[in-house]
């Protein structure tokens, strides 16, 4: 796993709104790091979601359900920060 698991506070700050998987199937909105999402928008480079999926986001995420795996990981990280 990358450095997303280091600090719950850092997670909260670095996770942005979901972005969308542009695959042929299982379209979900995944949580990604804010810096990655910004760079993807500007440079068109792939991003890596919390669940580990790597792809180039290009669609409006509000039209898709949030990836259950990303949600699970994010919830776990958030919960840890409240303890």
Q: What's the CA gap between 77 and 25, in Å, rounded?
A: 28
Does residue 47 interact with Zn ion by CB under 5 A? no
Residue of this chain nearest to Zn ion (CB atom): 67
Q: Is residue 4 within the footprint of Zn ion (CB under 5 A)? A: no
| Binding segment toward Zn ion, per CB under 5 A, in 5-13, 33-41, 44-52, 57-65 | 44-52
Out of 39, 51, 55, 64, the residue judged to bind Zn ion by CB under 5 A: 51
Give the residue, chosen from 67, 71, 74, 77, that forms a contact with Zn ion under the rule CB under 5 A. Answer: 67
């Amino acid at each position: 796993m990358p450095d997303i698991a280091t600090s719950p506070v850092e997670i909260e700050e670095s996770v942005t709104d979901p972005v969308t998987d542009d695959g042929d199937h299982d379209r979900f909105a995944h949580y990604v790091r804010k810096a990655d999402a910004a760079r993807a928008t500007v440079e068109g480079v792939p991003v890596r979601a919390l669940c580990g999926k790597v792809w180039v986001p290009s669609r409006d995420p509000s039209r898709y359900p949030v990836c259950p795996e990303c949600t699970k990981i994010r919830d776990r990280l958030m919960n840890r920060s409240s303890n």
